[in-house]
Amino acid sequence: MNMEENKIKVVVDDAIPFISGVLEPYAEVVYKGGRDICREDLLDASALVIRTRTKCDASLLDGTAVKFIATATIGTDHIDHEYCDKAGIVVRNAAGCNAGGVMNYVFSALYGVASRKAIRLDGSKLGIVGVGNVGKRVDMVAGYLGFKVLKNDPPRMAVEGPEGFCPLDYLLQNAQVVTMHVPLDKTTFRMCDDAFFDKMKPGTIFINASRGEVVDDAALKRAIPKLGPVIIDTWNNEPDIDRELLDMVDIATPHIAGYSYQGKQNGTAAAVRSLARFFGFSDLYEFFPKTELPSLEAVKLDLKGKRQGEITSALQYNYPIFTDDFMFRMDPGAFESLRSHYQYRREFYVY
């Protein structure tokens, strides 16, 4: 086989880390900004490796040579699955790749804002809406830290039975912290509406690190005077977010909750491996990016039995989340730049 003559063409989002040079021995690789990838780029391309910024639908893909799409993200709501199925285009995602990073974000934000607002977390009920890869990690750490955990996940409950889960209304009425970890689909679009927030107790802490579109911004703004601290990482209409809402929340970040070093390694590895298996690039079946510096290796934290202040200090040392908040508020218009040039943080784990 003449490798040069039989090389496929792959179009890759140039913001995907660790991928430069990996596919070149096997393919002609074209790197472009995710939002800038257009149909003309794909006319003779067999594969596409993307993030959430590339909307894959008929307008982008119709009449192209694309047979395979790998997204280095857990979410796939940027991909028209019905169209891809009909067109015979195989789609693969990186399920669970950023679960550790998002879990880190949730607890750094939660303990950080509780410290600033002098809120006691001991014995609090923490409600997790959506208990998939990320929600499971949040559940494990919440239990480790002594929270009473309430979980709502209708798809899992339908398969596994009701034990361990509770209705959404019960969760909202009883939790002191509500954190969103649902995928975006027709059942979750704008699920956080006026009725949703009306069921919450006054002072409830609300966290959204799932998808911006699960929240009705107008409803959230109406609810904020009643709620406790609000922490938002994912927004409607990114990057052109609601600036009024930005000014109203306690922690605001530009969709970087999952931007850990390990999460990005996992996402790129999943994308490369799935592409390699589809096209038969056997040397890349077990590809995983090397960790460049020992200081970026994940670290284990011993938080068992620690007081809230000690936990807060340890979490903020490992992920000083208010730096991300400050940088975003200084220039909200730099939403995409802050994401593209983000200095990936190492993950911590506690179990």
CATH 3.40.1390.10 fits 8-93, yes or no: no
7-23: burial string, b at 16+ Cβ within 10 Å, e else: bbbbbbbebbebbeebb
- 24 given a catalytic annotation: no
Which of 28, 35, 78, 238 is flagged as catalytic?
Answer: 238
From the candidates 211, 273, 339, 346, which is the catalytic residue?
Answer: 211
Q: What is the dihedral of CA 255, 261, 266, 269, to 10 degrees?
A: 110
Question: Which one from 181, 255, 339, 346 is the annotated catalytic residue?
Answer: 255
Q: Which two tokens stand for residue 217?
A: 């911004």
pLDDT value at residue 166? 97
Query: Which CA distances in Å does 98 have to 90, 105, 234?
Result: 22, 11, 14
Token pair 């939790």 is found at: 175
pTM (predicted TM-score): 0.90
Q: Where are the domains of the chain?
A: 8-93, 99-258+302-349
Indicate the fold that domain 99-258+302-349 takes in CATH.
Rossmann fold (3.40.50)
Q: pLDDT tens track of the chain, all 351 residues?
A: 344 557 899 999 999 999 999 999 999 999 999 999 999 999 999 999 999 899 999 999 999 999 999 999 988 989 999 999 999 999 999 999 999 999 999 999 999 999 999 999 999 999 999 999 999 999 999 999 999 999 999 999 999 999 999 999 999 999 999 999 999 999 999 999 999 999 999 999 999 999 999 999 999 999 999 999 999 999 999 999 999 999 999 999 999 999 999 999 999 999 999 999 999 999 999 999 998 888 889 999 999 999 999 999 999 999 999 999 999 999 999 999 999 899 999 999 986
Cα–Cα dist 319/119, whole Å: 20
State yes or no: is 211 an active-site residue. Answer: yes
Q: Dmax over Cα atoms in the chain, in whole Å?
A: 68
Catalytic residue flag (residue 5): no
For the chain, how big is the Rg over CA atoms in Å? 21
Q: Cα separation of 96 and 75, whole Å? A: 9
User: For residue 1, what pLDDT is reported?
Assistant: 39
The dihedral sign for the CA sequence 221, 223, 227, 230: negative
Q: Do domains 8-93 and 99-258+302-349 have the same CATH topology?
A: yes
